[in-house]
Amino acid sequence: MMLMVVHFEIDPEKMKKALEKTDQMRELIKKNPEEYPKFVTPGYIYNGETKGFQVIEIEKPEQLMKIASFYMPEKKYTCKQVIPASVAQEIWKKQFS
């Protein structure tokens, strides 16, 4: 399991299509939830912008690619894996002690 922060940007000129795809994606996830990321948080939008982020959980890279490619070209994604700070601190303690 990998925890990811997904930053996204919606093309304002393609907003209508992006919203339609969001409804379609909800239906696809209902039918086959194992094929898609688990949404840990709701999506958040930066106030006054078409950019935002969401935290997701994936079991395999294909889950992330499936959702990102579905939204192309209406949304652009940047994804970063995150780990608990306690895990990072234990690694750093071993490395820098």
- What CATH number is associated with residue 88? 3.30.70.1060
> What per-residue confidence (pLDDT) applies to 97?
87
Q: Give the tens place of pLDDT for each residue, 68-77.
A: 999 999 999 9
- Kindly indicate the confidence band of residue 94, based on its pLDDT and cuts at 50, 70 and 90: very high
What phi, psi does 58 have (nearest 5°)? -125, 150
Q: Give tens-digit pLDDT for 38-87.
A: 999 999 999 999 999 999 999 999 999 999 999 999 999 999 999 999 99
Boundaries of domain holding 72: 2-96
pTM recorded for the entire structure: 0.84
Q: Mention every residue, 6+ apart, whose C-beta is less than 8 A from residue 48.
A: none
**Considering its fold, how many domains does the chain have in total?**
1
